[in-house]
Structure 1
């Protein structure tokens, strides 16, 4: 059964609620992560493990496993690992005391995504995957126990992920939503529907998070008629 997000489209007090803290800034090191300019749409950062030293405080950040983790990984918000279908069993066993995001670009996406979720981990979605793979992934996570993180490259792909997630939860045409995200519809989502969406889509990792955040804000302001924007 699809999750019912048909609570109506109406004006909302906070048109940015769906987007608040959505973006995860992918950066090169902890110093850059700590120096990020605050923005309401940027929630945290993701740093590579190879750039982390023993003294870094990482509880606020995601950490990408670009090198093998130590025997006792430091506490972080979540570890991010890319794995093949053959590596999934080992990938979901990494850092047993921490949250882990697992991206798997091969194998049957329904099977691999379900396996990650059953292991108590967060499935990862790459917005650059084929439309069919993205749609099948979203069909699984719409009914999964654990939320997911996505990886995107620009504002348009962030909106596509959001629109596709909402469509999957509502039982709408996901592929159409991915191709033509309806920003006005996203901005006008009922608050309960926005909250339900964000329980499923936990964050989107992006480069140049500041630029994407400002562009998202600009597009939202065009919809809402808010001329002030980020000024």
Structure 2
């Protein structure tokens, strides 16, 4: 069901699924031009350290959901992500109306068979992205960020409850309720920050280092810088 080959390639590189979320992964040669492979500790050190500011933030500054990657299928980004991440494919009716299907929300391990009960989470929330550098971007770059399907780590289908519990918090403030998901989550968080050149404040960086030096020290981060 993966409709975008690049998204599928990155997913295979990560070799992590909601059913089996190992905290370790063997480093492998970069499979994509410009791709980087780092252990979690080294990846944390690559994130710029900076104070954050939410001055001027409005959610509407990030246009989403747009028409998605396939302009002919009538699906917006939200529905394209749902189609890409479905464990069992939903029925697609006129106007890209989705019914049925099955998803596994890796934040909390829940299985969901109603797409209306899923949110598409921005791995690094829009407000956090604004705080961390996106306030200086053009409107077009913010739209690209908010609809980024060219990296499997950027957008994830999860239960609405877990997404709304997370809200705009970083890993110093919130982690997935499923402990087995923590290292996978941090690898995706860090990959997204590095992909988009976003910074971390001191509290966030300290929290990432605790995991990098402890339970996630052998986790590997794969990312490709955004155009």
RCO greater where, 1 or 2, for CA within 8 Å and sep 6 or more? Answer: 2
TM-score (norm 1): 0.31
